[in-house]
Structure 1
Amino acid sequence: MEVQSRTRIFFRWLLALLYLAAGIMHIRSPAGFLAITPDWVPYPEQVVFITGVAEIAGAIGLMTQHWRRAAGIGLALYAFCVWPANINHAVNDIAVGGRTLGWGYHAPRLLLQPVIIWWALWASGGTNWPFGQRGDAADWVDP
């Protein structure tokens, strides 16, 4: 197995574990996520619950050959769609758990969101950028 393939597998597992943990947190402890949800989001309790389910489903999907591509695309879209909550958290300096985090946290977090989006696509085999061109459908299956 080539180095890039082993690296991709490692980072796929890492991303899946992070999304699994985040999904469980969304469901078990929604208060912090509700606090940062923009006011314009309808049914925020249900949305936070559904985002937790989506994170868990995406994590599981990343680990299956059949669902990997859909999970990578889904998690990338998910990361894009929750960006407004992160912006809301930063701009309005919303306290979570009784404390605010400041721009030392928020600036890197906001700037890393495109990396998280790319990570989901790369971990699922949807792109090899910047490491090379995406090939055919065989790229979606690990050796």
Structure 2
Amino acid sequence: MFHSKFVLAFFLIVAGILHFVKPHFFMKIMPDYIPYHMQMVYISGAVEILCGILLLFPETQKLGAYLCIALLIAVFPANIEMAKKFYQIHHKYFWLTVLRLPLQVVLIWWAYQFRK
């Protein structure tokens, strides 16, 4: 379990960096009812990076776990939106977007393991 927190932290940090490198990808999956798309992409990217960093240190691991759980719940509508849009355009990778939904639940469970 010790090493898995570094794996999760790595994935969170990389995903967060991608929000700044490729923000338009994340803007395309943003639900229409959420305002300030670009700002929300940057905020969610910064929070992902912060979650990953917080998980690395025993003193901040609990806070990082709870913040990670909150973030994954908050971005779940974007993953639903992406699956919906890929379905509507008959995108060949629609099935991958559907797999992201249960994967996100697994990530929430994974982050929950580090709250101690």
Fold in common (TM above 0.5)? yes
**Residue 110 of structure 2: aligned partner:** 119
In 1, Cα distance between equivalents of 2:55 and 2:42: 20
RMSD over aligned CA atoms reads: 1.6
In 1, Cα distance between equivalents of 2:31 and 2:92: 17
User: Once the 2 structures are TM-superposed, how far is the Cα of residue 119 of structure 1 from its aligned partner?
Assistant: 0.7
Q: Describe how 1:1-143 pairs up with structure 2 within 5 A.
A: 8-93=1-86, 101-102=93-94, 104-122=95-113, 124=114, 126=115, 140=116
In 2, Cα distance between equivalents of 1:16 and 1:94: 31
- Tell me the number of residue pairs that the alignment of Structure 1 and Structure 2 aligns: 114
Structure 2: gaps spanning 5 or more residues: none
Aligned identity (percent) is 32
User: Once the 2 structures are TM-superposed, how far is the Cα of residue 94 of structure 1 from its aligned partner?
Assistant: 7.5
Amino acid at match of 1:55: E
SS at match of 1:93: helix
In 1, Cα distance between equivalents of 2:10 and 2:87: 27
Structure 1: gaps spanning 5 or more residues: 1-7, 127-139
| TM-score, normalised relative to structure 1 | 0.75
Q: Which has the larger radius of gyration?
A: 1
In 1, Cα distance between equivalents of 2:51 and 2:92: 29
Is the 1:26–1:49 contact (alpha carbons within 8 Å) kept by the matching residues of 2? yes
SS at match of 2:32: coil
CA deviation digits over 1:81-104, x for unaligned, max 9?
101000000012179xxx6521x2
